[in-house]
Structure 1
Amino acid sequence: MFLRCLLVPTAPGLDATRRLDAALRLGRRLHAHIGVGFIAPGPEQVLAALAGTAPIASATIAAIREGTRAAAAEGRAALQAWCAREAVPFMPEVERLDATFATWTEWSGEVERVLTLAGRVNDLVIVDRPDPDEPFSGRALDTALFSVGRPALMVGETVPHDLLEHVVIAWNGSLEGTRLVGQSIALLRAASRVTVVQARTGRAEEAKAADLCAYLRWHGIVAQASILTVGEGASVGAAILAAAERQDATLLALGAYTHSRVREFLLGGVTRQVIESARMPVLMAH
């Protein structure tokens, strides 16, 4: 499977630069194009949020539409400026399958509905790490993980120059991890180095890192196995992140929420710990 369609969702007032940088660095390695999707609530969503707070007049609806148009124009201009700086073709007349270029699309509606439909006709959704001050970031990540059915790339504080220089896969044999590997074969094949990390937690582990390495070899991917010992009561997520950083990983890949989300919220879990603490980009699938 080729990864040719990278989706970068954005919204009014957001700076998409880090996500665009990550998309470009992947796109040039994978010969993929970058689709930027601007998602803004329509007048009906805004009015629903305002219901009961003030009288609704036609002027209010017009103001909402004008504000959305202005925000979209600002976002499009920012993308064009980024494309000019990075020498990325913007909305080319001829769209080659093996070329990296950027497109701009505007959608109106709730983030969850719009991103679900758009993400399902792309290969990878690129989102920011959730920021409490930017509700869109958390909604976008949740939608990408739980509704789209494609891998999601969460961009942290830093964007390595080459995201595929060293990919570390956190492997536990879960269904979610299996889906991620299966959907990311093309990306893993393009990586310069791949390491499979398996955390031993004192419980019997049937899945072995060496078995995944053997499977990947059939796809032309030479991966090294690494066993990580985690002490009783220690944080598996923190241990995986520390191991990835020690090995100079440029991208961490793991299956997301192998336990229920409620359980992870109440008791803690690997996915939650990684989302909250990762500085490097993280590739996930649920």
Structure 2
Amino acid sequence: MLRTLILPMTDKPPRTGALAVGTSLAKALTAHVSGLFIRPDPRGAIPFLGEGMTADAIQELCDAAERESLALEAAARTEFEAVARDTGLPMEDGLGTDHASAGWEVVVGLIADHAGRRARLADLVVVPKPEGEAADARGELLNEVLFRAGRPLLMVPDAATSADFGHVVVAWNGRAEVARALAEALPLMHRAAKVSVLALGEEHPDRPSLDQVRCYLLRHGIDAATVSREAPAKREMGQALLAECAGLGGDLLVIGGYSHNRWREMVLGGVTRTIVADAQIPVFMSH
């Protein structure tokens, strides 16, 4: 069950898609969604202010940055509470209730300090797609949640308006990452009118087959269609998956969040990176 959703927010608007989907999903699932605002600490800029500045000048700059940061926090909270109210979510802690609710919390510091750690007690983390002027901050947020939280995430484009996922498409290759995503996305599949499991290329003999996935889902009461396509000859795999998903009419794509370990830093693998960059529909992923 998905009972606790977290919606991390940075000081970089807009946040429309993630807010709309996160709150409407909480309403549909009778869950609690918590808006988590990560407010930059003005003191973090002190080492970059340069030598030769007086203590008073540095303090004045920090005070100005603090005022701006608090104003951004207030604007984000107003936006979150307005969307929650319009969705029918009361602002409360969601403990001991039988209805959906919303809450608000603030942490001060860097995205890397808080996003992944705070998300570990969420059933699902709703993050905005890295796009527009906020792409860098959003990309950092997605990476931190995917690789440090150990929880599934739902990446939402700004243009998304609701969590009415009528056709869920699972991009299956038999690896552990997508197997985990498959299991964690079950509550969303139960709400869908249709589920398709898509595989590109020949099945790997040492990995679960499409037929085995179908049996697994049937035991959960989900009658999924299986779709097998040839591996793309010229098109990159991520682009091919997006094209096939669009051709099937999918409005939610479930994938494994694959990675490379580069100089002790986890970075998105090529297929995942392409899907993150180019997807026009929400994407559910687990690492």
Instruction: Please say whether Structure 1 and Structure 2 have the same fold, judged by a TM-score greater than 0.5.
Output: yes
Preserved contact between residue 38 and residue 106 of structure 1 (Cα < 8 Å): yes
- 3-state secondary structure, aligned to 1:260: strand
Inter-CA distance 202–173: structure 2 relative to 1 (3 Å threshold): closer
Corresponding residue of 2:165: 164
Tell me which moved more, 269-278 or 74-83.
74-83
Inter-CA distance 26–93: structure 2 relative to 1 (3 Å threshold): closer
Structure 1, residues 39-81: CA drift from partner, whole Å, max 9, x if none?
0121332323435485553323322322222221121122222
Establish whether residue 223 from structure 1 lines up as the match of residue 227 from structure 2.
Answer: no
- 3-state secondary structure, aligned to 1:103: strand
Quote the Cα distance in structure 2 between the aligned partners of 1:64 and 1:146: 30
Inter-CA distance 205–156: structure 2 relative to 1 (3 Å threshold): farther
Preserved contact between residue 197 and residue 226 of structure 1 (Cα < 8 Å): yes
Inter-CA distance 81–157: structure 2 relative to 1 (3 Å threshold): closer
Corresponding residue of 2:27: 28
Corresponding residue of 1:40: 39
Corresponding residue of 1:121: 121
Preserved contact between residue 38 and residue 105 of structure 1 (Cα < 8 Å): yes
Which letter maps to 2:130? P
Structure 1, residues 110-150: CA drift from partner, whole Å, max 9, x if none?
10121112100111111111136322211111111111110
Quote the Cα distance in structure 2 between the aligned partners of 1:53 and 1:167: 58
Structure 1, residues 190-229: CA drift from partner, whole Å, max 9, x if none?
3222110011169767432221111111122221111021
Inter-CA distance 101–202: structure 2 relative to 1 (3 Å threshold): closer
Quote the Cα distance in structure 2 between the aligned partners of 1:147 and 1:12: 21
Inter-CA distance 202–82: structure 2 relative to 1 (3 Å threshold): closer
Identity %: 28
Which letter maps to 1:122? A
Which letter maps to 2:74? A
Corresponding residue of 1:111: 111
Q: CA deviation at 1:157?
A: 4.6
Instruction: Tell me the TM-score normalised to structure 1 length.
Output: 0.88
- 3-state secondary structure, aligned to 2:143: helix
Following superposition of structure 1 onto structure 2, how do residues 1-286 of structure 1 map, counting pairs within 5 Å? 2-52=1-51, 54-56=53-55, 57-89=58-90, 91-92=91-92, 95-131=95-131, 133-134=133-134, 135-159=136-160, 161-200=162-201, 206-257=207-258, 260=260, 269-286=270-287
Which letter maps to 2:236? S
* Matched residue count: 282
- 3-state secondary structure, aligned to 2:197: strand
Quote the Cα distance in structure 2 between the aligned partners of 1:140 and 1:162: 21
Quote the Cα distance in structure 1 between the aligned partners of 2:255 and 2:93: 37
Preserved contact between residue 198 and residue 208 of structure 1 (Cα < 8 Å): no
Preserved contact between residue 157 and residue 280 of structure 1 (Cα < 8 Å): no
Quote the Cα distance in structure 2 between the aligned partners of 1:49 and 1:251: 43
Quote the Cα distance in structure 2 between the aligned partners of 1:127 and 1:53: 41
Q: CA deviation at 1:14?
A: 1.7
Supply the RMSD in Å over aligned alpha carbons: 2.7
Preserved contact between residue 26 and residue 164 of structure 1 (Cα < 8 Å): no
Tell me which moved more, 61-70 or 234-243.
61-70
Quote the Cα distance in structure 2 between the aligned partners of 1:143 and 1:149: 10
Which letter maps to 2:117? L
Structure 1, residues 79-107: CA drift from partner, whole Å, max 9, x if none?
22223333332x23764544222211111
Q: CA deviation at 1:272?
A: 1.6
Quote the Cα distance in structure 2 between the aligned partners of 1:126 and 1:190: 18
Gaps of 5+ in 1: none
Which letter maps to 1:249? G
Which letter maps to 1:183? E
Quote the Cα distance in structure 1 between the aligned partners of 2:237 and 2:68: 45
